[in-house]
Amino acid sequence: MSPTSYRTIARTTEADLELKRSIFRCRVEHVVDEAAARAVIEQARTEHWDARHH
């Protein structure tokens, strides 16, 4: 049986997409566990407090 390998995020990156006068922001960031992922989401909520979805 061969070892499992995974691809991962090399660095944090962001992109914006505008559709029908709405801006969608995407952020991809490497995290090591769920707590780190939740911290990234909380940071996005703080920075973009007026966004409807995170």
Distance between alpha carbon 26 and the CA centroid of its chain, in Å? 6
pLDDT for residue 18: 93
**Owner of token pair 């709405």:** 22
How is the chain split into domains, by residue range?
13-47
Residue-wise pLDDT tens digits, 16-53:
999 999 889 888 999 999 999 999 999 999 998 888 87
**Half-sphere exposure of 16 toward its Cβ, with a 13 Å CA cutoff?**
4
34: tokens are 């769920």
Q: What is the pTM of this model?
A: 0.68
